[in-house]
Amino acid sequence: MIKIEIPGHKPIQAEHLVLDYNGTLAVDGLLKPGVQEILNSLAENISIHVITADTFGKVKNELKEIHCECIILNGNNQQGQKLSYIIKLGVEKVISIGNGMNDAMMLKNAALGIAVIQKEGASIKALLNAEIVCTDIIDALDLLRNNLRIIATLRN
């Protein structure tokens, strides 16, 4: 569990980290360097879930060394599928990270939503529904390893 107490906000006790894959953890279907090590380190304290449409068909191979659950979405209403997934986990126990329009509702409804803007860019809807925006997935994941950064960004 990752506990975050932000002055002026309800405390977060996250049991699940739910991440988009393409544009968030990966560029053109390939996992970004350094992500595997950080996710495996985080997996000691929080359950990792990667939920994706798998646009490039590479996710299972790229995640094979990571301690996570991989969920591949079917074609329709991906935004709704991602939202339903975090609702089943309990939104108050979820930190989510994504970049696309199909991540917007997941980011909005999670206890903490983090949007990333990388080579693929980011949907304005994802940005507007996140509490924090980072320009690199490593920075976003590092927030969870040093949550004083989150507190500094979100305190009132």
d(CA 35, CA 81): 24
Q: CA-based angle 136:50:96, to the nearest 5?
A: 60
Domain count, the chain: 1
Look up the domain containing 82 and give its range.
Answer: 2-154
Q: Does the pLDDT of residue 123 top 90, yes or no?
A: yes
pTM: 0.94
Structure-token pair, residue 15: 């049991």
Q: Where are the beta strands (DSSP E) in 73-124?
A: 94-98, 112-116
pLDDT value of position 10: 87
- We report the CATH number of the domain holding residue 144 as 3.40.50.1000
pLDDT digits (tens, 9 = 90+) for 22-73: 999 999 999 999 999 999 999 999 999 999 988 888 999 999 999 999 999 9
Average pLDDT across the chain, whole number: 94
